[in-house]
Chain A
């Protein structure tokens, strides 16, 4: 009796909205919010990609007059670099895998009707969207966007007089990052509470799909990391606007004292990288979870070493907080400290190797179905290995001092953090598109997209390692002025041409996405013959996900090719396995 009364006023359950605004704009439905995040990231990724295209053009044709934009000046190059990095890291790699697919599929995969706090969920999306608008607005203010790099090192980022774009543009940059942190914290709160408190009956933690584990661990990392970045951002704003000296030492600009004294740029670096390193895992953990899922589904085999996968992700997350100093080997750090950070960093190789070998073990002797999501999952493994293997190189302080500010680092983090995570996003899109939009994506276009992107990104980022070993420093806007770089110009030209082709391939993806929404083949409820809960419900799922039911879970998520079972997969909700064994 009393419970009925509560149910009527239960804030967690909301009736399906009828008005257009409540349904598509200020929606409380995690599925709509997930799609909103997805399209936010899609917009951001094309903006970020356009900026990288301009950089690649400028690198090999520095004097080219571009239509509308004119000639790109060196300081504009730094602006492009800053905004490309910031937009890609925050609004793409953090937003799409977690905010987008996590929001849409975490509640469904654990058998919940929605996130734990739907209003907070809506708020976190709109704060993130606002942050993106603020970030873009930096392009359109006096002085333009900032040029201090995505890491925002002071004193450059703290002094409005330090360069064009460092005035209002940099303020907007910091405010945008702070807003993003707020959105990410609210989102992390929701993910953690939902995972812990809203799992359906029978869905024990160790029966969760690895995607859910990945989103859960990512949320914990976000919860611990974004608060630190938020605090650092507030300190930076105070330094910029209130005249404090948290980060700014005694410096002069054009012979003029700035009025700051005693602050420490290293303090910013410590705070920033305490956030910044876990951020790498925030970007890639969801892709790891998804990849585990897909390799199992399309090899028709259980995941190899489920528990090992969970513990590996947990230890990657844990170690991720111990290694921020490896970004600061150049800062004059004590060799003993550097040694500690170095050892911890190389230790991450252990759980990473566990994951990689388990992925290989999963596809070993599997009946592999080379669908487009599977191709991207395999591409992810390839990129994870080739991008990750340079990590132990950079973890050595002595090697890092040589390689630190070179293209080697750029190649490393683009392969592992950038492209590998993006492959996770593509795989997720091809895999879940049928459930989200009710139609299949065009497989032919998807294959072309895969091969263009895989070969193209390797062609762009592999040569960067050679550039780095040849001591080609990063962030240099013009190669023609420096004699020792002349021999490397042909390689840079090759990378730019590869970028043209790869970027063209992304428009194929964009076309496929929108074309398939309208003209794709109608999807069945379970087109991939997968076992997890999202494939038990209708396509697209009803407002409360399961149409008035809460599923009961009997099986783990990877019951493929079970001996004696009637089909080669057993749904998580299928009690039949009890008889099969």
Chain B
């Protein structure tokens, strides 16, 4: 197992001296930090995917299960297809728009970060361009989506479909609810990014946060489209 691979290039010192004077700090450039944050995000999204894979398989299995009808003593299917409120499609449009505005926010913030260290080298957010407040707009659209989902729940309840009414309504509340909680996490991240801007944290730090939030947000939009397809086409 003696490994004698080529290592002449890594230098002869016993270790690399890091930091400039302050040894406790490790200088990571912007792209390295971005890479780490994105890697962390991808790993986190795998966990989210597993949650929805579980629910999807439970959905399909539960849909096909027969149950005993105590009155007749026969096996029947108790799965009633749930008619989706049309309002849901308006919500979907709002979420798609929010993803668009999120993407604009992401591009804006990485431009600011680049501009920050190109011009003065200080990289603080004082040089930020006065563009559209895309982050704020995304938050508002995200909150509108959640409010819309709440209205959908109210409408279903008004029609008599509660969480435990039929299995399909249980799954409807479950899937929309769990997705909503995840989206709320995204909104909290947006608020954190906005707060970072107000607190004049370095543009690069904020750009990393905005970047991963944006990819998370796009994933939540994608996930929502998937859930909608499941609810619509696998009734």
Interfacial residues, chain A to chain B (CB-CB below 8 A): 1-13, 15-16, 113, 116-117, 185, 188-189, 192-193, 196-198, 201-202, 207, 223-228, 230-232, 234-235, 238, 242-246, 249-250, 257, 261-264, 267, 270-271, 274, 302-303, 306, 543-544, 546-552, 554-556, 558-559, 562, 573, 575, 577-578, 581
Bound form: Cα–Cα A304–B11 in Å:
30
- Chain B residues 136 to 171 lying within 8 A of chain A, measured CB to CB, are 163-164, 167, 170
Bound form: Cα–Cα A113–B167 in Å:
50
27 CB < 8 A contacts A-B: A5-B122, A5-B124, A7-B26, A12-B33, A189-B44, A193-B36, A196-B39, A197-B36, A202-B10, A234-B178, A238-B174, A244-B170, A245-B164, A245-B167, A246-B62, A249-B67, A262-B62, A262-B167, A263-B167, A264-B61, A548-B23, A548-B24, A550-B15, A551-B15, A559-B2, A573-B15, A575-B7
- Chain B residues 62 to 79 lying within 8 A of chain A, measured CB to CB, are 62, 65, 67-68, 70, 78-79
Total count of chain B residues near the partner, CB < 8 A: 67
B18-33 Cβ-contact flags toward A at 8 Å (1 or 0): 1110011111111001
**Chain B residues, CB < 8 A from A207:** 3
Do the beta carbons of B17 and A223 come within 8 Å of each other? no
Identify B204's interface contact among A2, A271, A554, CB under 8 A. Answer: A2
Q: Is residue B43 contacting chain A, with contact meaning CB distance below 8 A?
A: yes
Q: Known pairs A15-B24, A238-B174, A270-B57; list 8 more (Cβ under 8 Å).
A: A1-B121, A5-B204, A117-B40, A185-B47, A243-B163, A250-B70, A261-B78, A549-B16
- Chain B residues 41 to 55 lying within 8 A of chain A, measured CB to CB, are 43-44, 46-51, 53-55
**Chain B residues, CB < 8 A from A547:** 23
**Chain B residues, CB < 8 A from A202:** 7, 10
Do the beta carbons of A224 and B46 come within 8 Å of each other? yes
Q: Is residue B111 contacting chain A, with contact meaning CB distance below 8 A?
A: no
Bound form: Cα–Cα A246–B67 in Å:
12
Identify A5's interface contact among B43, B57, B67, B123, CB under 8 A. Answer: B123
Do the beta carbons of A227 and B20 come within 8 Å of each other? no
Given A10-B25, A196-B39, A267-B61, also A230-B201 (CB < 8 A): no
Closest residue of chain B to A572 (Cβ to Cβ) is B3
**Chain B residues, CB < 8 A from A231:** 50-51, 54-55, 58
**Chain A residues, CB < 8 A from B54:** 227-228, 231-232, 271, 274
**Chain B residues, CB < 8 A from A15:** 24
Do the beta carbons of A1 and B163 come within 8 Å of each other? no
Bound form: Cα–Cα A351–B176 in Å:
42
**Chain A residues, CB < 8 A from B8:** 578
Identify B29's interface contact among A3, A189, A245, A270, CB under 8 A. Answer: A3
